Structure 1
Amino acid sequence: MLPRHPLLPRSTPAASGISSRAVAALLDRLEAQSVECHSLMIVRHGHVVAEGWWAPYSAERPHLLYSVTKSFTSVAVGLAIADGLLALDDRVVDVLPEHVPADISEQGRRVTVHHLLSMTAGHRTDSLDAAWRLEPGDLVKGFLRVPFTEAEGSWHAYDNPTTFILARMVERVTGRSLPELLDDRLFGPMGVEHAEWDRVASGAVPGFTGLHLPTEAVAAFGQLLLRDGRWGDRQLVPREWVRLATSRHVGTTQIEGWSENPDSLCGYGYQFWMSRHGYRADGAFGQFCLVVPPHDLVVVATGAVTQGEAVLDPVWECLLPGLDEVASSRDDEVLAERLRRLSLAPVPGSAMPERSVKAELDASAEDSALPDGTTVVVDPVDGGWRLRLGSSLTVEVGHGSWRDSSPLGRPVVATGAWQGNTFVADLYVITTPHRVRLVVDAVAGKAVARWHIVPLTSPSLESHLRSPLMTRTDVA
């Protein structure tokens, strides 16, 4: 089903020179490797040729992009530079003087916009945790206090505070918040209506994470980049900036347990990763916007995976060989039907419509999403259940289907079932990659609630259901 206001025109794989069997092979690979995708969109020659959402995820909902956000911040920097308000050699200490620590090192004084964009300020590893520990209320100052162990410009470290500082520099020189600037200069002209942001306690957006967009908006962003910043008859982002930002500026190394794949060795641009084919905006747990200029191709995926190659390798190995092959309309129809039926599995089991249960949560289990001792009550309601978690969370749960509720302002979608004397429910924090599995032992009166993948910001389920989103309440 098309979104209410499509951003991109639609076509078929055959009409755009893509074999539907190649797309089907990509889906087969993801399924065979148990890769949890939430959405997939393929754009060729400016047209969406394949799109699908794994229920309960859907086209209209925004999805947390994690570090794909960084690439949007890069565009904001490019706009400020094009307006003559910022320059690549501008120093942090000059633009944000009130955030400069008294004991700043000489190297800290030399850090520029270029170093921040390319993540070559001189930290050996990500400085985020250390910077927040040093200065809980001022991440810019904390970043400048973390010792620099490498010469600036000589070493790439994936360093999240660099993007936070870029966002603050853009806001300082433009006099506008990052969301306001991007709404006015990018999202508004493109027709993107549902950009949502996580925020820190001051109300500022992190810049390095926290942007939520529908899948098509990310695909439209990729298409904008592919067309060198042009959208229709308007040049929204300077051509020179798009080419500069998406070019290799520094070599990269693999990070054990996080980026162990060939694409991680292709280099880094200005808040963009280079890839074996083209370049990409890349976010934790399988959020990707792949731009492949030689093939006039954009591929966007969202999901909940722990290794990026689980998505990248199937794209390169299954999809690319199917470009410019002879395709058939019958294959297109088969693929379209398959894409319409994509779904994650509801919890199997029975309804037992007369059974209620009350239990106490045991938070000693690893990756717990709720505090120890939380009261858990499960009551049957209208062919499903009403789930009460402590005094503040009430969640509707479907049987064999999903039910929506927004107990604290943010949506959660849930499915559940009885499996003997155990009630099991999956609670999808639907605008993120994350979900919680709740298991209630009716005989023992005990329950556990564990994240499938723990969010990077907080293990508290309640914090992810509050509106507005707040990722670091301790950073003022």
Structure 2
Amino acid sequence: MSDRFTFPRSTPEVQGLASRAVEDFLDGIAAAQLELHSLMLVRHGHVVAEGWWAPYAPDRIHLLYSLSKSFTSTAVGLAVAEGRLRVDDRVVDFFPDALPATISDNLAAMQVRHLLCMGTGHVQDTVGHMTTDTDDDWIRGALGVPPEQAPGSVFTYNQGATFLLSAIVQKLTGQTLVDYLQPRLFAPLGIDRTYWQQNPQGINLGYIGFHTTTGAIARLGQLYLQRGRWAGKQLLPATWVDAASAHQIDSATPGTTPGEHQNSDWVQGYGYQFWRCRHDAYRGDGAFGQFCLIMPEQDAVLAITAGEDDMQAVLDQVWTHLLPAMVDGPLADDPVAHAQLADRLANLAFATVSGRATAPAADAALGRTYRFPLDQQPADDRAQPRITAATVLAEPDGWTLVLDDETESRRYRCGYGRWLDGRAVAVTPPGDASDATSGSGAWTADDTLTLHVKLVETPHSATFTCLFVDDMVELTTRWNVSFGPLKGPTLIGHCAD
């Protein structure tokens, strides 16, 4: 099912933006080799440009990483509007049964506002202790790290702070964030494709884990651009929007140079789970290029999903090509330029793997299972499971790569000359949103099969290179983006036949 609300569409020129400027933005993204998955640009309440790089598509949800925080902030704002809490409420008062034996003065002074603006007084993120050292009691874990400084005195990007906001909303309402937001935000905005990961306590993570569509990101931005009004109703108090988007705390670290202040969008200040930007804009963002960029002076919103490490480079393309091209009144109609842009946006696509459909090694290599000793792989790598076996199956339109690890088997469909959709796990747990795949492959040498798999509901993709030699395979994996190494260990597998 698609999201019910539909923005009105318009040519860019009618809304005061040249189609050529959008093309220049796309050219800049391509020249800088930045991996965008989708974009939706809204000006004066009209979509003037939108596109998805195939195999990404409008109806696909996408993991937002820390852009999830802006939805969490919105839930807190709604709860404040309903009188359920105040931003100056003390955090310790919400969780009397999860407090450490000794409550420090700094912990006692911590308020909801400090969670919102990442000013808890901690000098390091509490997420490590919260998620690994507390027998799955994340609330106790987050509260168990003593703040070294007075709350409000120092900015530290702290995942634990946002998790506590989610836990507070659930404690007060008896609902998870996603359930609480359903009638108050998602339904009014027509957002019906959502998924939010939970912790072992059944609490939505808050700081990451939210999946939704590009259109939903744009709607959240438009709601904030309109200071909380939607379809004639005040869904979110304007005072909350003003506070959430304001400079609540300095995000620059000691020693930040004047040049960094001028050129970086990470040192302009932080609001309530939103970053301040240059050009009097603000944004929610998430790792690897997830953006909800709100430009009040231009009356514009830009939603982006991506798989890109260099997030500043993406924003720089916006500041260079889009923002200065937005003018107050409509421009003269330019049907040729608009037709060219529309055609380009409709045909955005990632290239499939280039090579041959078969190779001399194919008959001997395909359909056989190769097993990998576990001592080739680090045992403490939580990011990636250890591969125990691999099989490449020939299919009429490509291949299926089957990778077994210590707990499950994953199947990746890869088409020749096309993208083939699939699910990585044959039996997907209900509500699990991150196993959708789309793959492409080709023989890139007589003995080498290259398979590229996009986890299309996330920023991540992997290239698997299979070098077949006699009864062995050399398997290498390279990720586009990762919190760890991009290249996995080279694995040598032997045929199990």
TM-score, structure 1 normalization: 0.90
Contact 1:362–1:448 (8 Å) recurs in 2: no
- Pairing partner for 2:308 from 283, 305, 310: 305
Greater Cα shift, 61-70 or 446-455: 446-455
Map of 2:358 onto structure 1 = 352
Map of 2:494 onto structure 1 = none
Map of 1:463 onto structure 2 = none
Contact 2:106–2:149 (8 Å) recurs in 1: no
Does 1:39 find its partner at 2:77?
no
Deviation for aligned residue 1:322: 1.4
Deviation for aligned residue 1:369: 7.3
Secondary structure, counterpart of 1:221 in structure 2: helix
Q: Distance in 2 between matches of 1:136 and 1:425?
A: 39
CA 22–272 in structure 1, closer or farther in 2 if over 3 Å, else same: same
Greater Cα shift, 20-29 or 349-358: 349-358
Map of 2:438 onto structure 1 = 413
1:285-434 equivalence runs, <5 A: 285-324=288-327, 326=331, 328-352=334-358, 355=363, 356-357=365-366, 358=368, 359-361=370-372, 364=376, 371-372=385-386, 374-390=388-404, 392-408=409-425, 409=428, 410-420=435-445, 421-434=447-460
Q: Distance in 2 between matches of 1:370 and 1:85?
A: 41
Map of 1:164 onto structure 2 = 163
Aligned residue type for 1:452: N
Q: Distance in 1 between matches of 2:377 and 2:299?
A: 48
Contact 2:7–2:45 (8 Å) recurs in 1: yes
Secondary structure, counterpart of 1:84 in structure 2: coil
Deviation for aligned residue 1:71: 0.7
Map of 1:451 onto structure 2 = 479
Secondary structure, counterpart of 1:51 in structure 2: strand
Contact 1:115–1:153 (8 Å) recurs in 2: yes
Q: Distance in 1 between matches of 2:300 and 2:7?
A: 13
Contact 2:67–2:284 (8 Å) recurs in 1: yes
Contact 1:67–1:209 (8 Å) recurs in 2: yes
Map of 1:85 onto structure 2 = 84
Deviation for aligned residue 1:136: 4.1
Does 1:212 find its partner at 2:193?
no
1:59-74 equivalence runs, <5 A: 59-74=58-73
Q: Distance in 2 between matches of 1:415 and 1:9?
A: 35
Map of 1:280 onto structure 2 = 283
Map of 1:117 onto structure 2 = 116
Deviation for aligned residue 1:176: 1.6
Q: Distance in 2 between matches of 1:88 and 1:48?
A: 35
Map of 1:127 onto structure 2 = 126
Contact 1:134–1:145 (8 Å) recurs in 2: no
1:218-248 CA-partner distances (Å, limit 9, x unpaired) = 0011111101111112211111111111111
Q: Relative contact order (C-alpha < 8 Å, sep 6+): which is higher? A: 1
Q: Distance in 1 between matches of 2:229 and 2:6?
A: 14
Greater Cα shift, 162-171 or 349-358: 349-358
1:392-449 CA-partner distances (Å, limit 9, x unpaired) = 2222211111111124223111111111111111111110000111111111422123
CA 215–127 in structure 1, closer or farther in 2 if over 3 Å, else same: same
Q: Distance in 2 between matches of 1:295 and 1:395?
A: 43
Contact 1:219–1:298 (8 Å) recurs in 2: yes
Secondary structure, counterpart of 1:345 in structure 2: coil
Q: Distance in 2 between matches of 1:194 and 1:394?
A: 25
Greater Cα shift, 85-94 or 322-331: 322-331
Q: Distance in 2 between matches of 1:294 and 1:371?
A: 47
Q: Distance in 1 between matches of 2:386 and 2:457?
A: 26
Q: Distance in 1 between matches of 2:384 and 2:166?
A: 33
CA 73–152 in structure 1, closer or farther in 2 if over 3 Å, else same: same
Q: Distance in 2 between matches of 1:247 and 1:79?
A: 17
Secondary structure, counterpart of 1:263 in structure 2: coil
CA RMSD of aligned residues (A): 2.4
Aligned residue type for 1:303: A
Deviation for aligned residue 1:103: 2.2
Secondary structure, counterpart of 1:217 in structure 2: helix
1:432-443 equivalence runs, <5 A: 432-443=458-469
Q: Distance in 1 between matches of 2:421 and 2:254?
A: 38
Secondary structure, counterpart of 2:272 in structure 1: coil
TM-score, structure 2 normalization: 0.86
Greater Cα shift, 361-370 or 237-246: 361-370
Contact 2:170–2:203 (8 Å) recurs in 1: no
Contact 1:360–1:445 (8 Å) recurs in 2: no
Deviation for aligned residue 1:82: 0.8
Secondary structure, counterpart of 2:50 in structure 1: strand
Q: How many residue pairs end up in the alignment?
A: 455
CA 245–362 in structure 1, closer or farther in 2 if over 3 Å, else same: farther
CA 329–255 in structure 1, closer or farther in 2 if over 3 Å, else same: farther
Aligned residue type for 2:302: V
Deviation for aligned residue 1:450: 3.2
Contact 1:435–1:453 (8 Å) recurs in 2: yes
Q: Distance in 1 between matches of 2:276 and 2:453?
A: 35
Aligned residue type for 1:66: Y
Q: Distance in 2 between matches of 1:24 and 1:434?
A: 26
CA 347–368 in structure 1, closer or farther in 2 if over 3 Å, else same: farther
Deviation for aligned residue 1:368: 10
Greater Cα shift, 203-212 or 355-364: 355-364
Q: Distance in 1 between matches of 2:477 and 2:382?
A: 6
1:272-321 CA-partner distances (Å, limit 9, x unpaired) = 10111311001111000100111100011110111221110000111112
Secondary structure, counterpart of 1:306 in structure 2: coil
CA 267–321 in structure 1, closer or farther in 2 if over 3 Å, else same: same
Map of 1:264 onto structure 2 = 266
Contact 1:250–1:268 (8 Å) recurs in 2: yes
Map of 2:491 onto structure 1 = none
Q: Distance in 1 between matches of 2:137 and 2:200?
A: 11
Secondary structure, counterpart of 1:449 in structure 2: strand
Secondary structure, counterpart of 1:417 in structure 2: strand
Contact 2:413–2:422 (8 Å) recurs in 1: yes
Aligned residue type for 1:300: A
- Structure 2, unmatched stretches of 5+, are 429-434, 489-497
Map of 2:495 onto structure 1 = none
